Amino acid sequence: MGTVTLGVSIAVPEPFGSGLQRRRLGFGDAAAAGIPTHVTLLPPTEVEAAARPLIEDHLAAIAAAGRPFPLRLSGTGTFRPLTPVVFVRVAEGGRECGRLQERVREKGGPLARELPFPYHPHVTVAHGIAEEAMDRAQAELAGYEAAWTVGGFSLYEQDGAGVWQQRREFRFPAGPAGGPAGSALERAAPEAA
């Protein structure tokens, strides 16, 4: 059956997701066209295609044990000079993202793997483009604010053209977290520059 490249992430909901994707494209990051706006829980990982049912069972069990939680984006940061990335910061909900990604990659599980860098939840807005464009992305989105309640996460697969396609969404059971699962609350205009 061969291998597939999978990723697990929290989708950034509308209107924030498409707004940040447009901004990323506007900074000259053409790869953004094939990458839905997200907070990564599992970076691109090659697995045997036959393992997908086991992986989906694993992710469903994690979601069933989870609860909705608030996530807030605020301002920008960068991983430069280590890696050419500018991102919007996860100001609230980072601890919950960290716990989720640990469960996704847990030792002995179907997605067990080590990361090349310590986990740092974020939303990429520029990657591998000219330094001037990276500087512009970091400056223009420095005042960016958005918040919503995370109601679950998704499994994505990279297709032959390099585009990430959502394969399955895993919802948390309803629970207290400051609002209904998946609701979005805009605290500042995402298009403000």
For residue range 67-97, list pLDDT tens digits in order: 999 999 999 999 998 899 999 999 999 999 9
Measure CA 64 to chain center.
20
Strand 122-127 to strand 85-92: parallel, antiparallel, or no bridges (unpaired)? antiparallel
Closest CA to 41 of 126, 111, 125: 111
CA 110 to chain centre: 20
Whether the per-residue pLDDT at 63 is higher than 70: the answer is: yes
Supply the pLDDT for residue 174. 81
Residues 6 or more apart whose Cβ sits within 8 Å of residue 151: 68, 171, 172, 180, 181, 182, 183
Amino acid at 155: L
Tens of pLDDT, residues 16-51? 999 999 999 999 999 999 999 999 999 999 999 999
Domains and CATH numbers, the chain: 3-172 (3.90.1140.10)
d(CA 115, CA 113) in angstroms, rounded, equals: 7
Q: How many CB atoms lie within 10 A of CB 80?
A: 14
